[in-house]
A = this chain, B = another copy of it.
Amino acid sequence: MSKAKLGRPRSEKSKEAILSATHALLSETMGTGLTIEAIARRAKGGKPTIYRWWPGVADIVLEVVLSQANASITVSTSDSLQETLGQFLRESMNAIVNWGGVHLRFLVAHAQKDEAFRDRFRDNFTAKRRAVLKSIFAQAMERGEIGSEQNVEILVDMVFGAMWYRLLIGHAPANETFADDLTEAIIRLVQNPPV
């Protein structure tokens, strides 16, 4: 019943200054130059204030991304698979093109050198996006648009995999056209019974 809030409360102003400084630096320098020191300088705060709340740069970026991305997962639940999937992928691509590409690239890059962060990144970001896509496929399966024998895990890997692949390697653009091509390919795949 007690569980009182002791001590000086966390400064919301600082928190937002840090998050927006991170966003700004990431956009401006494309990932290079995103250091704790630079964030502290830009946010006019101290380094310890940052370390008190986040374990490192990547987790700040993750929070920035989540605060944007979670809002944007909007699935229109009642249409055909073609339309639902198409809209979901186009929205994802737009998010990448418009503001999030550098952020996501930074996150995967960092995840490769920090296993603990990779777990946090997977649990809080990719796992949730996978869940959404899986529910889209599950609904289509209920409606009979997909045969129940299909391997949904592999489908999800192919869809998100292709997107990340383009984003990370950069051999071709990750834009709306690509979203449409991908949608078409998946539709064709699921309309076919297993071999």
Contacts and interface: CB of A to CB of B under 8 A. Distances in A.
Given A126-B169, A154-B181, A171-B130, A195 B188 contact: yes
Interface stretch (A62-70, A87-95, A111-119): A111-119
Contacts of A118: 169-170
A: contact size bracket: 35 or more
What secondary structure prevails in chain A residues at the interface with B?
helix
Given A127-B171, A161-B164, A185 B112 contact: no
Contact of A154 (B126, B185, B194): B185
Given A184-B195, A188-B189, A189-B188, A154 B164 contact: no
Interface stretch (A11-19, A37-45, A102-110, A135-143): A102-110
Given A108-B112, A112-B106, A157-B162, A185 B189 contact: yes
Contacts of A112: 31, 105-106, 108-109, 168
Given A130-B171, A171-B126, A185 B109 contact: no
A92 to B, nearest CB: 14
B192 A192 contact: yes
A57 interface: no
B171 A166 contact: no
A64 B182 CA distance: 34
Given A121-B169, A158-B182, 19 more contacts: A31-B112, A106-B112, A108-B108, A108-B109, A108-B112, A108-B168, A118-B170, A122-B170, A122-B171, A151-B184, A154-B182, A160-B165, A161-B165, A164-B168, A184-B194, A184-B195, A188-B192, A188-B193, A192-B192
10 contacts: A32-B113, A108-B169, A111-B168, A118-B170, A154-B181, A161-B161, A161-B162, A161-B164, A164-B169, A188-B189
8 closest A-B pairs by CB: A161-B161, A161-B165, A161-B162, A189-B189, A109-B112, A157-B162, A109-B109, A192-B192
